[in-house]
Copies of this chain bind each other. A is one copy, B any other.
Amino acid sequence: MNKGRLEAFSDGVMAIIITIMVLEIKVPHGTEWRALVPLLPVFLSYVLSFIYIGIYWNNHHHMLHSAAKVNGSILWANLHLLFWLSLIPFATGWMGENSFAPAATALYGGILLLCSIAYWVLEQTIIRKNGKDSLLAKAIGQDLKGKLSPLLYLTGIALSFWSPWAANGVYVLVALMWLIPDRRIERVYEEE
């Protein structure tokens, strides 16, 4: 089966997700600088989601690069991940337009949580197909970041009802944690 088309389709979907989010930043009616002020929370939530989609694209890129074989289960695990990623623009819009209201902040964290679970499922599906001794399996290793992220998202969701800003602080923290590219895979590759 053809890995190229899986990558091309995923690239297409992620490129569209990252770009249509900008449509949520509605052109204001005023012509003064202060017409932009109400857009600030929308803009900030856009920045955060842009970084998250960027991280997913980046890690997806690494993960598939190290997958030698692709089958039907991997195609569907990949579509499952794309499904939850496709809900990020909606959650971003709701959070941004309501200036980080508690429920919207919790929903945003919930979508991030489901994306991280879907990513983990895809990872396991690829490892099952390619074997425990595969490049990917070795590169992932303990996968500390992958195990920590869902816990942090859950913390963020819980914090949303107490302080949405603290919750968003946690989401930013997870993003920063992942911004450091997955050197594990690069390292294992270089050792080969």
Interface residues, chain A, CB within 8 Å of chain B?
1-2, 5, 7-9, 11-20, 22-25, 27-28, 31-33, 35-36, 47, 50, 54, 57-58, 61, 65, 71-73, 75-76, 79, 82-83, 86-87, 89-90, 93-94, 97-98, 101-104, 107, 179, 181, 183, 186
Contact = CB atoms under 8 A, between A and B. Distances in A.
B11 A9 contact: yes
B19 A13 contact: yes
Count the copies: 4
Interface of A (DSSP majority class): helix
A35 B104 CA distance: 10
A9 B2 contact: no
B86 A27 contact: no
Contacts of A83: 47, 50
Contact of A17 (B19, B101, B107): B19
A57 B9 contact: yes
